[in-house]
Structure 1
Amino acid sequence: MSLMANDPTDLMDQLILLTRRLADLAERQAALFEASRFLEAQNLTEESARLANVYASESRRIAEDPSLLSGVPSDMRATLTFETERFKSAMDAHERALNRQRVLAEGLVRAIAEEAIAARPTPVAYGPGAHAFRDTSAVALDKRA
């Protein structure tokens, strides 16, 4: 899908609105991730993905044909630059929030696995009074997962 514009100024206005909305969504999702409100953040994913696809498509189209924005007032260009920087900052915050949650989840899984391993009795298979416990299955922790 691409933006439908009447002229370069209209296209720039739509790009500004698109970039502003993407920044708003990224900031909102980052805040929800920080608050561990993942289901609410998930509700924004469909719109974010759809708008990100339009943004990528329009960025490619303009890169291939810069004349699409010829004659656009400098104040609109400055606004788009500002909104683009805000969007980049929002995406950085979004990435940091996701990484923090990933590290927390991995730590939680690791702690549970270590606790499960520690809670298992150690079988004694050789020597006087040796016997094997019924549940001697192994617990594996894949650090690459």
Structure 2
Amino acid sequence: MEFNNELKVESVSKETLFVSIIDDDAIIRSILMKILKVMNFDQYELDLVAYEDGLQFFESNRIIEKGEHFLILDGVMPIMDGVEILQKVKKLENRTNIHILMLTGRKRMADIEKALKLGADDYMTKPFSIKELQARIERLIKRMK
């Protein structure tokens, strides 16, 4: 009599999380991509794309992809700044699936207050600590769903 000793491993399918980095600084985009590529989440597989400005982001139509979205927005950009992107995103039908971290050089209390009132989930100022940024991203993504 033969026994089949194969171990069956169930693959846990992860949901796709569409992560969009929108920042006009190539170095910041590169740093953020490197940070996010090494992060692991139980429930999500990250689909990462970086954009130089808000116009490029909206023209890509990425935001209409079905599923959860996580945006990291720079506050100061020449074509469409982070607050303008935030305002436009929060008017969309699927806005409850869109989570936003502002990562900007704008440090004034009025700017922080405005972004949070408009619906940003978190706000960090530049320059930033990579470890703190990772912790905030982890916290925000783990709270989703």
TM-score (norm 1): 0.22
Flag the structure with higher strand content.
2
Flag the structure with higher helix content.
1
The structure with higher relative contact order (CA 8 Å, sep 6+) is: 1
TM-score (norm 2): 0.22
Q: Greater Rg, structure 1 or structure 2?
A: 1
